[in-house]
């Protein structure tokens, strides 16, 4: 078995190891014996010099680790929701534990950065131009505790997120969700969210039910399906599924209780709700088509970039 290094331990394990080192020393064990005992019990490589510094209190590894609370909170639920969608984590060779987000909507990026800041993590928000794809806003924060939490099992993340369902749903729908407008024989307003993980969608469905909304999940397309995104063709390497909120009363509840952070999504949903509520179908369709034009499978406000 490969011996672990101290930096491989999560915060709780590191705290336990330090406590055990100090307990051994208080029992009269030599520094060398402590090194052997810790190596045997935790399979971690530790130097005698480090043990001495810990026991004398001249050094603490937590001086370099900014602790953030992993207790349930609105901010944590929102971050988990975003992570289940557009967010990502990355461990760099220089020891930074990055939590990242790249999106086209500034309001979304700002909301994610604000949530990280409220958790106690300094967030960098910027804008990048990319000749190979659409320009995007990016958010980066570095924290080992949050990184390790997001690396844990989905069941653990779901347990934490369920304490604040609205915030999780807001983060997840900000990432992967969208309003869908139909202008056929009638004017229909729906909300959908797409993801390759059925388990995450089932959890989302459960939280929506807790807030009084019904939804359905179905396969959207299979692996190998060719699709066009912002004018470029891609081949999906996973099966994709969609959760859809179809009944108008549930769409109204979604708008009231969850909603979207991005202005372009929120504006589209609110305008569609206004038209469906106040106009007969034919007139609602005419007014909608005066303001929005269809690009691919979605509607984009006239004069606005996709």
Query: What does the pLDDT profile of the chain (306 residues) look like in tens digits?
Result: 677 777 677 666 776 777 788 888 888 888 888 888 888 888 888 888 887 887 876 665 555 555 677 889 999 999 999 999 999 999 887 778 899 999 999 999 999 999 999 998 999 999 988 766 678 999 999 998 899 889 989 999 999 999 999 999 999 999 999 999 999 889 999 999 999 999 999 999 999 999 999 999 999 887 776 766 666 677 777 889 999 999 999 999 999 999 999 999 999 999 999 999 999 999 999 999 999 999 877 889 987 655
Per-residue pLDDT, 226? 73
Handedness of CA 202, 197, 254, 121 (dihedral sign): positive
287 with 275: CB under 8 angstroms?
A: yes
Beta bridge partners of 233: 228
pTM: 0.79
State the first-to-last Cα distance of the chain, in angstroms, to the nearest integer.
52
96 with 147: CB under 8 angstroms?
A: no
Residue 105: name the closest of 175, 192, 171 by CA.
175
Measured CA to CA in angstroms, residue 223 lies from 69, 153, 242 at distances of 39, 25, 14
Handedness of CA 41, 43, 49, 51 (dihedral sign): negative
3-class DSSP state for residue 242?
strand
Rounded distance, CA 89 to CA 142, Å? 9
Per-residue pLDDT, 49? 83
Per-residue pLDDT, 1? 60
Measured CA to CA in angstroms, residue 280 lies from 88, 109, 245, 268, 300 at distances of 44, 37, 22, 18, 22
Per-residue pLDDT, 249? 98
Per-residue pLDDT, 41? 82
Residue 1: name the closest of 31, 35, 45 by CA.
45
The conformation of residue 61, written as its DSSP 8-state character, comes to G
Measured CA to CA in angstroms, residue 16 lies from 12, 22, 156, 193, 236 at distances of 6, 10, 21, 41, 44
33 with 24: CB under 8 angstroms?
A: yes
The token pair at 132 is: 């190979």
99 with 146: CB under 8 angstroms?
A: yes
Residue 264: name the closest of 227, 228, 295 by CA.
295
């Amino acid at each position: 078995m490969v011996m672990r290094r101290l930096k491989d331990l999560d915060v709780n394990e590191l705290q336990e190891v330090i406590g055990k080192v100090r307990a051994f020393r208080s029992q009269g064990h030599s520094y060398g014996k402590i090194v052997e005992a810790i190596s045997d019990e935790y399979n971690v490589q530790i130097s005698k010099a480090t043990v001495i510094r810990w026991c004398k209190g001249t050094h603490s590894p937590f001086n370099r680790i900014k602790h953030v609370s992993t207790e349930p909170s609105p901010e944590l639920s929102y971050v988990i929701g975003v992570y289940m969608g557009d967010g990502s984590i990355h461990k760099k060779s220089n020891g930074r534990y990055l939590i990242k987000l790249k999106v086209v909507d500034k309001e979304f990026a700002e909301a994610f950065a604000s949530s990280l800041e409220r958790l106690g993590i300094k967030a960098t928000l910027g804008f990048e131009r990319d000749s190979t794809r659409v320009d995007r806003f990016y958010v980066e924060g570095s924290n080992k505790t949050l990184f390790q939490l997001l690396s844990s099992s989905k069941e653990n993340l779901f347990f934490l997120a369920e304490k604040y369902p609205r915030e999780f749903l807001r983060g997840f729908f900000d990432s992967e969700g969208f309003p869908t407008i139909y202008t056929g024989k009638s004017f229909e307003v729906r909300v959908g969210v797409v993801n390759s993980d059925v388990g995450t969608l089932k959890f989302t469905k459960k939280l929506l039910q807790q807030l009084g909304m019904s939804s359905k999940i179905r396969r959207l397309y299979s692996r190998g399906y060719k699709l066009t995104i912002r004018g470029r063709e891609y081949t999906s390497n996973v099966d994709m599924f969609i959760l859809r909120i179809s009944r108008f009363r549930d769409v109204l509840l979604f708008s009231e209780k969850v909603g979207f952070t991005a202005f372009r999504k929120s504006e589209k949903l609110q305008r569609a709700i206004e038209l469906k509520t106040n106009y007969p179908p034919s007139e609602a369709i005419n007014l909608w088509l005066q303001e929005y034009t269809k690009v691919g499978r979605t509607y984009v406000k006239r004069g606005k970039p996709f």
